[in-house]
Amino acid sequence: MTSRFFLIIGDPFLRSQKIKSIVSDLEKKAKGSFDHQTYRLADTPLDSILSNARTLPFLASGQIFYIQVAEKLTQGEMEILKRYAMSPDEKTCLIFEIDSSEGHSELINLAKSRGKVVRLAKEEARSLAQNYLQQKLARFKKTITPGARQRILEMCGDAIVFLDTMLDRILQYSGEAQLIDENMVCLFEENWRGVNVFQLADAILERDRGKARQTFHELLENSESEPRFLIGIIHWQLRQLWQGAVLREAGTSEAEILEKVKVPLFKKGPFMSAINRYGMARLEAALEALHQLDRKTKTGQAHPVSGTETWIMEFVS
């Protein structure tokens, strides 16, 4: 195994796509089957993980350990990792994952000196997202126009982590149609603008706990949406408001804001009113909190329904 230490930095969804590519290359070069183990540093001490790293499973030509939540590394564990990195097991590859490089210079420097650091830049993130979109649609024998593809990626923005959930719903929405065009995506987007969804986002930002809880349960009861999809809907609604707030701060006119954010004219009043009430800082905090909640539900740290309700109650308190 040529490299035994990787550190992947960036969006969780994009990390998973990049890791698949790295592992595929490793297995091709090894010409054998690898054993795969996933660990969370929040649940398993590093010394236990590294102890397992020196024991190869029967019949496996190598093993790959995916070490998530590497942000949880303590200083003591960093010293343990440094000692291991001086003499790593030749048949074991460690892949550490973190969301951001901020505050993790020691781990980054160690990975640089003993392995490889992969930072997912925005350009690469967009490329990975486009490739994933095409591959997923191909599996369902669907094609997509360039305009529709661009609109879907715009709806995700920087939070590519929501792409998979969004594609699931668009595939469901498309029914028997083989081609997904821009008109279909626009109609799908309009369905996201249901009054209950807007009321939920509004109640969250207004810190109206009773209204937020009631609206959340109404959405669960009166729609076929999965709870984690509702997280995506809320994120989309708040992101629209945030985009509008950013444009307003830059001195953009209301007409231009509505055009750029693609808000219909009849919703101008409540949309601009929400921007004025909440402001950019509050909207940014809401988006970050939703991103973290989505990551936790997908990694089993939080239940989609109870986790979302807990987040709503905590955020609006």
Give the tens place of pLDDT for each residue, 96-109: 998 888 888 999 99
State the chain's mean pLDDT as an integer. 82
Q: The domain spanning residue 64 has which CATH number? A: 3.40.50.300
Verify that 153 and 289 share a domain, yes or no: yes
Q: What is the torsional sign of CA 130, 133, 134, 136?
A: positive
Domain boundary among 88, 120, 152: 120
Verify that 134 and 248 share a domain, yes or no: yes
- Domain of residue 135 covers 125-315
Q: Give the per-residue pLDDT at 1.
A: 52
Verify that 67 and 149 share a domain, yes or no: no
Percentage of the chain surpassing pLDDT 70? 88
CA-to-CA separations, 275 to 4, 115, 188, in angstroms, rounded: 49, 46, 24
Verify that 116 and 130 share a domain, yes or no: no
Domain boundary among 120, 150, 185: 120
Verify that 182 and 297 share a domain, yes or no: yes
Using alpha carbons only, give the angle 9, 77, 86 rounded to the nearest 5 degrees.
85
Verify that 99 and 214 share a domain, yes or no: no
Percentage of the chain surpassing pLDDT 90? 24
Q: Give the per-residue pLDDT at 202.
A: 73
Backbone angles phi, psi at 264, to 5 degrees: -65, 150
Query: Which helix (H) or strand (E) is 234 found in, with range?
Result: helix 227-249
Verify that 54 and 142 share a domain, yes or no: no
Verify that 30 and 66 share a domain, yes or no: yes
Indicate the range of 40-54, 115-129, 224-238, 290-304 predicted with least confidence.
224-238
- Reply yes or no on whether the pLDDT at 208 is more than 60: yes
Count CA atoms closer than 13 A to 208's CA, side-chain side: 11
| Region of residue 64 (phi > 0: left; psi between -120 and 50: alpha; otherwise: beta) | beta
Bridge partner residues of 34 (DSSP):
62
Verify that 103 and 228 share a domain, yes or no: no
* Long-range contacts of 43-50, Cβ-Cβ distance < 8 Å, separation of 24 or more: 45/77, 46/73, 46/77, 46/80, 46/81, 47/77, 47/80, 50/80, 50/81, 50/84
Indicate the range of 40-49, 68-77, 192-201, 285-294 predicted with least confidence.
192-201
| pLDDT class of 288 with cuts at 50, 70, 90 | confident
Verify that 208 and 139 share a domain, yes or no: yes
Where does 140-283 show beta strands of DSSP type E?
143-144, 179-180
- Reply yes or no on whether the pLDDT at 53 is more than 90: yes
- Reply yes or no on whether the pLDDT at 270 is more than 80: no
Bridge partner residues of 62 (DSSP):
34
| Among candidate residues 229, 264, 265, 258, the one with its CA nearest the CA of residue 243 | 258
- Reply yes or no on whether the pLDDT at 78 is more than 90: yes
| Among candidate residues 301, 127, 317, 160, the one with its CA nearest the CA of residue 232 | 160
Verify that 90 and 222 share a domain, yes or no: no
In total, how many domains does the chain have?
2
Domain boundary among 83, 100, 120: 120
Q: Which two tokens stand for residue 297?
A: 């539900």
Q: Which two tokens stand for residue 287?
A: 């988006």
- Reply yes or no on whether the pLDDT at 190 is more than 80: no
Q: The domain spanning residue 188 has which CATH number? A: 1.20.272.10
Q: What is the torsional sign of CA 296, 297, 303, 304?
A: positive
| pLDDT class of 80 with cuts at 50, 70, 90 | very high
Reported as a single tens digit per residue, the pLDDT across 104-130 is 899 999 999 999 999 887 666 677 778
DSSP notation for 157-180: TT-GGGHHHHHHHHHHHHTT-SEE
Q: What is the DSSP letter of 32?
A: S
Verify that 103 and 139 share a domain, yes or no: no
